[in-house]
Chain A
Amino acid sequence: MNTPVIEVSNVRKEYKGFTAVDGINFTVYSGDVFGFLGPNGAGKSTTIRMLTSLIHPTSGSIKLFGKDLSTHREEILANVGAIVERPDMYLYLNAINNLELVARMYGANSSKKHLMSILEMVGLAQRAESKVKTFSHGMKQRLGIACTLVHNPQLIILDEPTTGLDPQGMKDIRDIILHLSKDRGKTIFLSSHILPEIELTANRMVIINRGKIVVEGEVKKLLNDDTVKLMVHCSPIETATTIIAESNWNSFFVDVEDGALRFDIPTVNVAGLNQYLVEHGIEVHSLVPTRSLEDYFLKCIEQAEVTNMK
């Protein structure tokens, strides 16, 4: 049975006249890649700062590894590696010196061999002696992840690690996260405002909006139940529109947009729609599902409001 690694209970953080986090609850279990999703300003960073004791909750309790963070701070942080906000380093030092400094702060193994093996893992071994000020953002992210690993922690907290990266950089970081989870058994707490990123890496997630948890559950289950915006590029489009209008699929049809049929349709029904169009002589060129975090949020919030009204 999985043991809880992070237990957040009724945590609230207030600044002068502003509630950044409003009584949130969630649990992260050992081995999870836990997605912490929300738009900018939702309370993600505030929550991560509370998890790493950079800021103190106004009320509520945070337990890591079953121990209260407010009373066992040093003991807990010895087993946590974190990047909060950005992977900031000492720019005037080179990569291996930065790692060595962090290792010494943890009282961990700071031998060159050990540090090089970590740099190897994040793909920076060739740049070990380069000053960090010469690094690209992607390289800094990878070095930041390396810094979280020097003391072999059980829990790794990453705050928007793919922000500002190009597609290749995003993939590199994703691969590292999956490697840490699957091959090294780390528990990973991953914050992001990009839904596909969470979809590709996390097994469980919560969505936070305006300081409140809107959704919590298993990623696959939550997203498969969801309705996607589907753009169907097909020809002839006029015939397709008529066929759809005369069928049960019409309830999912929205409009013709940019030369394609737009549907708001549950993901489980996409294959059926495709089959129906093909069987009626329509040539389907592509079906492009798009699911923006914004749309998903709106749906979650609407559902939450309906539940509250009932």
Chain B
Amino acid sequence: MLSMILIELEKIFRKWRTYIGLAAIIVLVALIQTVMFIQGDQYGNMMLQSLRQTFSIDAKLINGYLLAFLVKGLTYVHIPFLVTLVSGDILAGEATGGTIRVLLTKPLTRSKILLAKYITTEIYTLLVVATLALMSYAVSVWLFGPGQLVVINSDGVVVLAKNDVAWRFIYSYLYIFLGLSTVSTLAFFFSSLVENALGPIISTMAVIIVFTALSFLDVSSIRTLKQFFFTTHIAGWRLFFDDPIQWDSIYKSGSILLGHCIGLFGITWFMFTRKDVTT
């Protein structure tokens, strides 16, 4: 199995498409950091104008922590798209190139091949999250320094002390990994169905957009359903910045995302191990 995972990793890292996602994160975050570096105070004052009328805030608000927090907003659409570049291609790309036949005529069970490919996509997803963490957290803190983190959530304003932030970021990045894994598992599922890598990428993004749009509809029938949409829970990393933290909500959201991963991989496995390869 390890040998197969290494082979799969070698295959994806020999494709230039794999580096697009990582490069895009670096460029996007660097761009945000540059803008904030130049016009950060102006932006901070504008953002906190109303707060200053109510609270007496004398701390430096635009700091590395706030920037890292804001950058995480990219995980709604932008970074899921980048993740699908690899997970959507990993099976469909083999079908397009015909190499799926090369692969499946080897003395390896289909389950083993599928699992090796899935683990490879998850390693890539982890690498995407690690790049995001490195760029958004480590580089931002290095550039702007640490400080109090002022977060506005649905319950109001939360001010987190400087020494109470780092661990929240670590947990939130792990949670983001779970959210992006759900996206990559969905793209992996679509990838097992088609013979063109573009299909899984478009289908996954379509699902994200449609489900997100449905979540905004305040209709009773959807209200019940939307609590099970994975898109509802992708933003669950924000829960780590509540005070006090609602651990029950985090466990619930995390379980729904994990359930999606297991369910989607299960369906993929069931279909892939039984299907006739006619490409």
CB <8 Å contact, A55 and B103: no
Q: Which residues of A contact B10 (CB under 8 A)?
A: 101
CB <8 Å contact, A85 and B101: yes
Q: Given A89-B102, A107-B3, decide whether A49 and B278 contact each other with a Cβ distance below 8 A.
A: yes
Q: State A75–B109 Cα separation when bound (angstroms).
A: 11
- Name which of A76-84, A187-195, A225-233 contacts chain B: A76-84
Q: Given A77-B107, A88-B97, A92-B15, decide whether A102 and B276 contact each other with a Cβ distance below 8 A.
A: no
CB <8 Å contact, B7 and A84: no
CB <8 Å contact, A54 and B106: no
Pick the contact of B276: A56, A73, A85 (CB < 8 A): A56
Q: Which residues of A contact B11 (CB under 8 A)?
A: 90, 101
* Residue on A nearest B277 in the bound complex, by CB: A54
Interface members, chain A 101-119 (any B CB < 8 Å): 101-102, 104-107
Minimum distance in angstroms from B142 CB to a CB of chain A: 36
* Residue on A nearest B17 in the bound complex, by CB: A92
A147 CB-CB contact with B under 8 Å: yes
Interface members, chain B 73-131 (any A CB < 8 Å): 97-99, 101-109
* Residue on B nearest A77 in the bound complex, by CB: B107
CB <8 Å contact, B277 and A49: yes
CB <8 Å contact, A78 and B102: no
CB <8 Å contact, B277 and A106: no
Q: Which residues of B contact A85 (CB under 8 A)?
A: 98, 101
A74 CB-CB contact with B under 8 Å: yes
Minimum distance in angstroms from A68 CB to a CB of chain B: 15
Q: Given A84-B101, A90-B11, A92-B15, decide whether A105 and B108 contact each other with a Cβ distance below 8 A.
A: yes
B30 CB-CB contact with A under 8 Å: no
Q: Which residues of B contact A102 (CB under 8 A)?
A: 102, 106
CB <8 Å contact, A74 and B109: yes
CB <8 Å contact, A55 and B99: no
Q: Which residues of A contact B250 (CB under 8 A)?
A: none
Q: Given A53-B105, A107-B3, decide whether A86 and B98 contact each other with a Cβ distance below 8 A.
A: yes
CB <8 Å contact, A75 and B107: yes
CB <8 Å contact, A88 and B7: no
CB <8 Å contact, A89 and B105: no
Q: Given A92-B14, A105-B4, decide whether A147 and B102 contact each other with a Cβ distance below 8 A.
A: yes
Q: State A91–B16 Cα separation when bound (angstroms).
A: 13
Q: Which residues of A contact B274 (CB under 8 A)?
A: 56
Q: Given A88-B98, A90-B97, decide whether A104 and B104 contact each other with a Cβ distance below 8 A.
A: no
Minimum distance in angstroms from B271 CB to a CB of chain A: 13
Interface members, chain B 12-47 (any A CB < 8 Å): 14-15
Max chain A C-beta neighbours (<10 A), residue from B101, B276, B277: B101
* Residue on A nearest B97 in the bound complex, by CB: A88
Q: Which residues of B contact A147 (CB under 8 A)?
A: 102
Q: State A76–B106 Cα separation when bound (angstroms).
A: 10
Q: Given A55-B276, A88-B99, decide whether A104 and B3 contact each other with a Cβ distance below 8 A.
A: yes
Pick the contact of B101: A54, A78, A104 (CB < 8 A): A54
CB <8 Å contact, A105 and B7: yes
A93 CB-CB contact with B under 8 Å: yes
Pick the contact of B106: A75, A91, A105 (CB < 8 A): A105
* Residue on A nearest B276 in the bound complex, by CB: A55
- Contacts A55-B277, A73-B107, A105-B4 aside, 17 further interface pairs with beta carbons under 8 A come to A52-B104, A54-B101, A54-B278, A55-B278, A56-B274, A76-B107, A84-B105, A85-B101, A88-B98, A88-B101, A88-B102, A91-B97, A92-B14, A101-B10, A102-B102, A105-B7, A147-B102
Q: List residues of chain A with CB under 8 Å of any chain B CB.
A: 49, 52-56, 73-78, 80, 82, 84-86, 88-93, 101-102, 104-107, 147
* 28 examples of A-B residue contacts, CB within 8 angstroms: A49-B276, A54-B104, A55-B276, A55-B278, A56-B274, A73-B107, A74-B108, A77-B106, A78-B107, A80-B105, A84-B101, A85-B98, A86-B98, A88-B98, A88-B99, A89-B99, A89-B102, A90-B14, A90-B99, A101-B7, A101-B10, A101-B11, A102-B106, A104-B3, A104-B7, A105-B103, A107-B3, A147-B102
